[in-house]
Amino acid sequence: MSKSMVPKRLFFTKGAGRHKERLTSFELALRDAGIAAQNLVRVSSIFPPNCKLVPRSQGLKYLHPGEVVFAVVAENSTHGRWSASIESDSLARAS
């Protein structure tokens, strides 16, 4: 893997969304987490070497709408009659 693909900064975020449709609840969770405007590519949860953990507020400043971002996403859903909830956790950025 080229070194340009190894994240230099990492931050954690989480969000929750509830809706009767699973996809809508996931979208709401992404909005709550502050990462709905990015295109997420799911990766494993390996903490990259020499990667700096930064606060969420600082990490969000590095993201741009429409950008492809590598992310570790954890989901939890409950399938009730009227609702589903999804949580998304943690995000890494490669710059």
pLDDT at 79: 65
Q: Kindly give, in sequence order, each residue whose CB lies less than 8 Å from that of residue 23, ignoring residues fewer than 6 positions away.
A: none
Q: Where are the beta strands (DSSP E) in the chain?
A: 9-19, 39-42, 52-53, 68-71, 84-93
Asked whether the beta carbons of 10 and 59 are under 8 A apart, the reply is yes
The pLDDT tens digits of the residues spanning 34-92 come to 999 999 888 887 888 888 889 989 988 989 999 988 888 887 776 653 333 333 444 55
**DSSP-based three-state secondary structure for 63:** coil
Measured in Å, how far apart are the chain's first and last C-alpha atoms?
15
Q: How much is the average pLDDT of 19-34?
A: 84
pTM greater than 0.85 (yes/no): no
Per-residue confidence (pLDDT) for residue 38, from 0 to 100 = 92
Q: Which residue has the tokens 């990462």?
A: 35
Which CATH code fits 3-93?
A: 3.50.20.10
Please tell me the predicted confidence (pLDDT) of residue 86: 36
